[in-house]
Amino acid sequence: MKNTILQIEASNAVKAYESAPPKFRPVLENLFGKNVFAKNIRERLQSFDDVLEYHGHTQESFAKWCEGLRPHEIGNRKEELIVAAYNEGKIADWRDGTPKRYPIFNMPDPSGAGFAYYDYVRWYSASVVGARLVFIGPESLENLKDAVEKFLPEYKESRTL
């Protein structure tokens, strides 16, 4: 039998999955991958490999992309990919008045030294949020919590030297 490539729209695969009897769903999951049928992004992202797959990367292509970078720079790239995946490609509109969410960490160091900042200037203004690192949308808080829970090691990589 000649190998023939079949193409199917993802929406049609989802319709077939939803109308299929439960015993046939594993067949569709094996053919197309479970992520095609996940209802929300939190279900789809279970590991950093899932984040890479979402963006069309592999571990090998990511490693090549990060050649020559310092560890915390690689961690920052990971964090940007994680947040972009949870935002499903949408970019924050800073003028629309909707909440943007950003995780804040307390990462004490067991050696007794830790992250600390003190400023005594009376009039001071600063931005501490990277625009590409905010969670947006109606489920931004749930997505942020899920991301931190699942990807805390990657977050630590971007914040430690």
Domain ranges of the chain: 6-37, 40-159
Tokens linked to 32: 């197309």
Residue 112 has pLDDT above 70, yes or no: no
**pLDDT at residue 69, rounded to an integer:** 96
- Max distance between CA atoms of the chain, in angstroms, equals 78
Residue 121 has pLDDT above 50, yes or no: no
Burial of 142 (0-12, 13-18, 19+ CB in 10 A): middle
**pLDDT at residue 125, rounded to an integer:** 47
Over the stretch 23-52, which tens digit does the pLDDT of each residue have?
Answer: 988 998 888 887 778 778 998 899 999 999
- Is the separation of the CB atoms in 55 and 85 below 8 Å? yes
Burial of 155 (0-12, 13-18, 19+ CB in 10 A): buried
pTM here is: 0.71
**pLDDT at residue 41, rounded to an integer:** 92
Residue linked to tokens 């990589």 = 157
Over the stretch 64-101, which tens digit does the pLDDT of each residue have?
Answer: 999 999 999 999 999 999 999 999 889 999 898 888 99
**pLDDT at residue 129, rounded to an integer:** 52
Q: Which amino acid is at 50?
A: D
Q: How far apart are the first and last CA of the chain?
A: 56
Please name which of 76, 19, 84 lies closest in space to residue 55, comparing C-alpha atoms: 84
Q: What percent of the chain has pLDDT above 70?
A: 83
